Amino acid sequence: MHSRTSFFILSILYRFHILLAQNYDEWPLQKNQSFPTRSSPIEIFTNEANFIRTPTPLTFYVDYSENDELINTGSAVEVHTKHTSETHVTGGVLYDDTYIYSKCRFYWNNDIQGDTRLRINGDGKPLEVQLIFYNNKYNNFTDALGYPDGLLVTSILVDVGPNENLDFNEFGNHLDEIEKSNTKINITSSTVFKWFDIFSVIENYFAYPGDYGGCSCATSIVCIARYNRPYISERQFTKFQNLKNADGGILENLEEPHGRHGRPIVYSNTAQEIQIS
Ligand SMILES: *[C@@H]1O[C@H](CO)[C@@H](O)[C@H](O)[C@H]1NC(C)=O
Ligand SMILES: *[C@@H]1O[C@H](CO)[C@@H](O)[C@H](O)[C@H]1NC(C)=O
Ligand SMILES: *[C@@H]1O[C@H](CO)[C@@H](O)[C@H](O)[C@H]1NC(C)=O
């Protein structure tokens, strides 16, 4: 409780640095800029982030009508699109680049007092929703994996607390159906997206160069929903806690944050979601 309170105070009162003209080159990143390591996720300290004013807000165009697959892989829970998705994101720290939605992954800590992999000023959440997109200048996700500007990863941290999120229940029932490892079911994108905000107007986000599964190929965007942070109840969270891994044990995917290693972090504060279907 104490750490959450101090997090809010910190995030409201913290005076972010204005990005100075002489280090503006730090962002957008040169597409081929190399870093000694780009491992994600990291722990973000807001006093290390430079505020950036982008020409347009980061904008998510979301199609709620698509048919996807929800999968328990035995080591993760993922949603995969079956066809090229209409859901995409552009603007903000992406400038003119457009990234097409490809998959969604869930990371959680079965201890609801614990954190997932991402932390901000020492504070994490037990559940993280990660959306993975690929740059539309490449043919498909696999093709995009090979390029420094190939992928975009966005993370949304979800609170677990006393209140039920009614929009979660349909998704929660589907989690029951994939309790066993190596099972998958059909699911619509609305069932996946509707219980957390992808984004809505005036949110705050951090961005830094990250990676995906060890390849040096992702621009990572880390998101915090400050005013309408998504949440589910402890009862609803048991749907994740009941999932089984490949050995029939408890599925969980914990990882410690990686080092920042001199990578730039920027902070911006306008993002929005536009429903396209
Ligand atoms: C990145 O690309 C620019 C121009 O496209 C080139 O001048 C520069 O040498 C490249 N840097 C690296 C590290 O490859
Ligand atoms: C992805 O694009 C590449 C290059 O066009 C192509 O060779 C490959 O078959 C495509 N992969 C899939 C899964 O469509
Ligand atoms: C899932 O959808 C595919 C078509 O995309 C269909 O062939 C398959 O039978 C469906 N599976 C279930 C369990 O409904």
Read off the pLDDT of each residue in 104-110 and give the average, rounded to a whole number: 92
Q: Is residue 150 within 8 Å of 134, Cβ to Cβ?
A: yes
Please give the residue that has the higher pLDDT: either 141 or 256: 141
CA distance 7 to 229: 13
Nearest-Å Rg of the Cα atoms of the chain is: 18
Which of the listed residues 32, 149, 216 should we mutate to test ligand 1's pocket, taking the one with most ligand atoms within 8 A of CB?
32
Q: Is residue 264 within 8 Å of 25, Cβ to Cβ?
A: no
Residue nearest to ligand 1 atom 1, measured at CA? 32
Distance 139 CA to ligand 2 centre (A): 6
Question: What is the per-residue pLDDT for 252?
Answer: 83
Residue nearest to ligand 1 atom 6, measured at CA? 32
* Prediction pTM value: 0.85
Q: Is the pLDDT of residue 183 over 90?
A: yes
- Give the three-state DSSP class for 226: coil
Distance 31 CA to ligand 1 centre (A): 9
Point out the least confidently predicted range of 19-23, 155-159, 166-170. 19-23
Say how many C-beta atoms besides its own lie within 10 A of residue 218's C-beta: 26
pLDDT tens-digit map of 35-88: 666 677 778 888 888 888 888 899 999 999 999 999 999 999 999 999 999 999
Q: Atom of ligand 3 at shortest distance to CA of 67?
A: 5
Distance 32 CA to ligand 1 centre (A): 6
Q: Is residue 181 within 8 Å of 202, Cβ to Cβ?
A: no
Distance 46 CA to ligand 1 centre (A): 30
Question: What is the per-residue pLDDT for 73?
Answer: 95
